[in-house]
Amino acid sequence: MSSKEHLSPIEKLNEALNSGELRQVRYTLNNSLRPAEIAHLLDKSPPKERQLLWSLVNKELEGEVLQYLSYDVQADIVSRMDAGELLEVTEGLDTDDLVDLLQQLPERVMRELLQTMDIQNRARVEQVLSYDEDTAGGLMNTDTVTIRPDITVETALRYIRRHKEIPEMTDSLFVVSRRDAFIGVLPLTKLLVSDPDMLVREIMNTDIAPIAATMTDTEVTQLFEQHGLISAPVVDEDGKLLGRITIDDVVDVIREDADHSLMGMAGLGEDADTFAPVLKTTRSRAFWLGINLITAFVASAVIGLFEATIDKVVALAVLMPIVASMGGIAGSQTLTLVIRGQALGHLDRSNAAWLLNRELIAGTINGLLWAAVVAGVAIIWFQDLQIGGIIAAAIVINLLAGALAGTLLPIGLKAAGIDPALAGSVLLTTITDVVGFFAFLGLATYFYG
Amino acid sequence: MSSKEHLSPIEKLNEALNSGELRQVRYTLNNSLRPAEIAHLLDKSPPKERQLLWSLVNKELEGEVLQYLSYDVQADIVSRMDAGELLEVTEGLDTDDLVDLLQQLPERVMRELLQTMDIQNRARVEQVLSYDEDTAGGLMNTDTVTIRPDITVETALRYIRRHKEIPEMTDSLFVVSRRDAFIGVLPLTKLLVSDPDMLVREIMNTDIAPIAATMTDTEVTQLFEQHGLISAPVVDEDGKLLGRITIDDVVDVIREDADHSLMGMAGLGEDADTFAPVLKTTRSRAFWLGINLITAFVASAVIGLFEATIDKVVALAVLMPIVASMGGIAGSQTLTLVIRGQALGHLDRSNAAWLLNRELIAGTINGLLWAAVVAGVAIIWFQDLQIGGIIAAAIVINLLAGALAGTLLPIGLKAAGIDPALAGSVLLTTITDVVGFFAFLGLATYFYG
């Protein structure tokens, strides 16, 4: 189809990999691809190819490639290295990326690695390590460029020119006191357009409060989005400048948070490696299947209560999954909307009642609508008016149960400190299955029994 | 509990809103909150409060607030305005934000609004409008700062100082020819540390290709993440600089893409307003429930085929939801993983076979494991060895069906140009329900019939 000249570097690589020309692969890998592209290639490779490719990456690229890998893949590769290799690979990494790596190591290996660092570097890393991964402190980097408030713009420009280069993602200098207390932010764009004789103090920005090291990473993302930030200072409880957070770290958090909702609702970890080996996959899935099996047995037990009725009217067995399914679908829609609303910070006590009310009304209207349709079909199918009325009533009841559970479950779980994205969908299905079967078969037992 | 002094501006606002002190609300809204915070407050308010709050926002803030609103809420508010109001509100907006708003208007109102703009502004807007919303061209802004390659660093710095201010999110100047052809990028940080006598041409960056206006927004996000960009130039097919994309727009795309998978799988729009009015909610949910009802009827029809068998062995009715449920859960896990993999660009022809194989093996192992458990319970419960064997076989078959459908459905749908996040979960459930009921009841009919 396509001639060889038109292949992208990745396609060429695949071809070389398939034909076993490892020298060709090594060359393309290390000379035509950026570290982020190599990482992407590793992320999308099955285990064997991944190991092979990794072994072909040049030593001096390894550190950079590692920091772009997805979490699970990174953890897997790092876990195969000894402290010596790790030290070599992590040399020259930014503090925040280095800390991300260290957190994946066993305590012993981490300590070993810390011992080998020079004192200044180690102090920096240990400071970041002292904060939780999910806080501003755990997210920050220590590569700030600072200046004093009492120098002129001209002096500031001269001071900056003395740098050989300025760290990536630097859009502002941080103004600090002699004791490193944070005072303000000086955007480079402001510095560039200001009168050279002005003082830094006169042109710096003080209207954005610095980020406390203990702020959660989700709050940090909201702050960045609301203020349109590229980088922001992080301070300790005394206002001392500790480091800075940059937008690339914020983007990672946004991706992780979004993945967490999507993957969590299917019982998968947000860091799940798409190409995890078969045993790892099997083990992680088994747990979720087991949990769901319990809920399936609960539903079966409810059906079991009404065996006699089903024995009498076998049409009930044919129709009962419809009741459970409609309640489950309606409930899942509400649940997903509420979980997303929670993630966006939309839900609090002031509007939860309104939301529940809206869901109940929408559930009632849709319940009546689809109950009528199902009743019509059931009556025609089984030539039985009564069964139509029974299934209609059960569907309305179950859609209301779905609306109620879909709204209150995530709110209750969150208040109890349980992650709604993880536990919500199992619990919801249990409720709509139980209510659905109970309402339908219970009513049937009353009328046919 | 908390004394009034410790309330945040938002809490104060809620209190004032509840007590009906509208003057107080208006004051807090316009003087204590940033436009992004006002937008967040509107996003999380039920319809009536939302309209009331919006009516209290000062005219000159409206435009800024609008651009921070979530899509559905923005569309709702904009749809109530006439061209005159819109013109007032949109004055001073960036081209990209203005275009976002325009795209939500009826054609007639949009044309009317374009007529009222000055020629230069209109030309800019029409250029961005000419590109699809989901492309680099539709995403870009036209507020670039450009310089020529043959001036010195010193001249460049003097030229920049003549600006009163530089547009937000400007981390680089774009180097262009006399005819506006894109030549390279000059990061401000580079400009600040370079020798004043060097030429722009000598220090500019040419290793990152400019973005073609037709590139999809998802590709743009990958480019930004792989190269750690804050802003990037957009060019037309002749290499002429059209504008630039900034990281804040990229973050919006990342959020939208992630929301699309999560919300799509529950049949909700990614832009769904958490506090949409009841009728809008009811209507949008009704469609999804209707689609799912069809699949539920298909499952019922399968059960209906085996009415005679169920009539004979009523235990089958009790156990059959377990088979369907286990297959559905296992299939959903695979489906979610594959859909996320597709969104991350992990899946292609080279690794799909490996993935399918892994899912089938994991499905078989988990199938055997849980089949044994379910068989054990069923045998004890119903004192019937045969029913244990039948349900075990059906579970293994259905978990394999789940693995197969979970992998192949999203791949096939995507190849057919259908969005897997939207259609995947309904189709998957239909398959696992049909296979589950058919395998279980079919085997039962064979052995008991």
pLDDT at B94: 77
pLDDT averaged over every residue in chain A: 89
pLDDT of A423 reads 86
Say whether B278-448 and B4-139 share the same fold. no
Contact of B385 with B369, CB cutoff 8 Å: no
Would you state the pLDDT for residue A395? 97
Domain B278-448 fold? Tetracycline Repressor; domain 2 (1.10.357)
What per-residue confidence (pLDDT) applies to B8? 64
Q: A24 versus A186: which is more confidently predicted?
A: A186
- Partner A contacted by B229 (CB < 8 A): no
- The domain locations on chain A are 4-139, 146-265, 278-448
Asked whether the beta carbons of B336 and A268 are under 8 A apart, the reply is yes
Does the pLDDT at position A77 exceed 80?
Answer: yes
Contact A300 B292 (CB under 8 A): no
> Which pLDDT does position B99 carry in this prediction?
83
User: Burial, A363: exposed, middle or buried (Cβ in 10 Å; 0-12, 13-18, 19+)?
Assistant: buried
Burial tier of B33 (Cβ tally within 10 Å: 0-12, 13-18, 19+): buried
Interface predicted TM-score (ipTM) over 0.90: no
Q: How far is A385 from chain B (nearest CA, A)?
A: 18
The alpha carbon of residue A94 is apart from the nearest alpha carbon of chain B, in Å, by 14
- CATH code, residues A4-139: 1.25.60.10
Q: What confidence category does residue A7 fall into, taking pLDDT thresholds of 50, 70 and 90?
A: low
Beta-carbon separation of B193 and A161 below 8 A: yes
pLDDT in tens, A249-279: 899 898 888 888 888 888 888 778 889 999 9
B146-265 topology per CATH: CBS-domain (3.10.580)
Tell me, what's the pLDDT at B436? 96
Distances (CA, A) of B355 to A46, A445, B325, B361: 8, 48, 23, 10
Of the candidates B46, B38, B44, the residue with the CA atom closest to the CA atom of residue B64 = B38
Q: pLDDT in tens for each of the 449 residues of chain B?
A: 344 455 666 666 777 777 777 888 888 888 888 888 899 899 999 888 898 899 899 988 888 898 888 888 988 888 888 878 888 888 777 777 788 888 878 888 888 888 878 887 888 888 888 898 889 998 998 889 999 999 999 999 999 988 888 888 899 999 999 999 999 999 999 999 999 999 999 999 998 889 999 999 999 998 998 888 999 999 999 999 999 999 998 998 988 888 888 888 888 887 788 899 999 999 989 999 999 999 999 999 999 999 999 999 999 999 999 999 999 999 999 999 999 999 888 888 888 999 999 999 999 999 999 999 999 999 999 999 999 999 999 999 999 999 999 999 999 999 999 888 888 888 999 999 999 999 999 999 999 87
Share of chain A above pLDDT 90, in %: 52
- Dist CA A215 CA A131 (whole Å): 10
- Is A226 within 8 Å of chain B by CB? yes
Tens digits of residue pLDDT in A327-372: 999 999 999 999 999 988 888 888 899 999 999 999 999 999 999 9
Q: Is B282 on the interface with A (CB under 8 A)?
A: yes
- Look at residue A3 in the predicted model and tell me its pLDDT: 44
Q: Which residues of A touch B40 (CB under 8 A)?
A: 226, 345
Residues 370-399 (B) with a CB less than 8 A from some CB of A: 370, 373-374, 377, 381
Confirm if A403 and A329 have CB atoms less than 8 A apart. Answer: no
Write the residue in B14, B259, B365 that is nearest to A350 by C-beta: B14
Question: How close is the nearest chain B Cα to the Cα of A165, in Å?
Answer: 7
- Give how far B84 is from chain A: nearest CA, Å: 28
Residue of A nearest to B350 (CA): A14
Residue A325 has pLDDT above 70, yes or no: yes
Tell me which chain B residues have a C-beta less than 8 angstroms from the C-beta of A272. Answer: 337
The count of CB pairs under 8 A between chains A and B is 326
Which pLDDT score is estimated for A17?
A: 72
Cβ neighbours around A80 below 10 Å, total: 9
pLDDT score recorded for residue A444? 94
What is the average per-residue pLDDT within A398-418? 94
Cβ separation B44–A345 shorter than 8 A? yes
Judge whether B266 is closer than 8 Å to chain A, CB to CB. Answer: yes
Whether chain A has a CB inside 8 Å of the CB on B340: the answer is yes
* Residues in chain B within 8 Å Cβ distance of A288: 329, 333
What sections of B306-348 are H helices per DSSP?
A: 307-312, 315-343
Cα(B76)–Cα(B256) distance, integer angstroms? 18
pLDDT (0 to 100) of residue B350: 82
Give residue A394's pLDDT.
Answer: 97
Query: A102 or A429: which carries more pLDDT confidence?
Result: A429
pLDDT over 50 at A2, yes or no: no
Q: What is the pLDDT of residue B4?
A: 47
pLDDT in tens, A15-61: 777 777 788 888 888 888 888 889 989 999 988 889 889 989 998 88
B148 dihedral zone (left: phi>0; alpha: psi -120 to 50; beta):
beta
**Partners of residue A420 in chain B, C-beta under 8 Å:** none
Structural tokens at position B203? 């220090």
pLDDT for res A129? 87
Whole-angstrom CA distances from B244 to A426, B138, B232 are 45, 11, 5
Confidence of residue A217 (pLDDT cuts 50, 70, 90): very high
Q: Do A289 and B350 touch (CB under 8 A)?
A: no
Q: Which two tokens stand for residue B335?
A: 């489906």
Two tokens at A336?
Answer: 């997903």
CB atoms within 10 A of CB B55: 9
**Touching check for A285 and chain B: CB below 8 Å?**
yes
pLDDT tops 90 at residue A446: yes
Under an 8 A CB cutoff, do A192 and B166 touch? yes
Tell me which DSSP letter residue B242 carries.
E
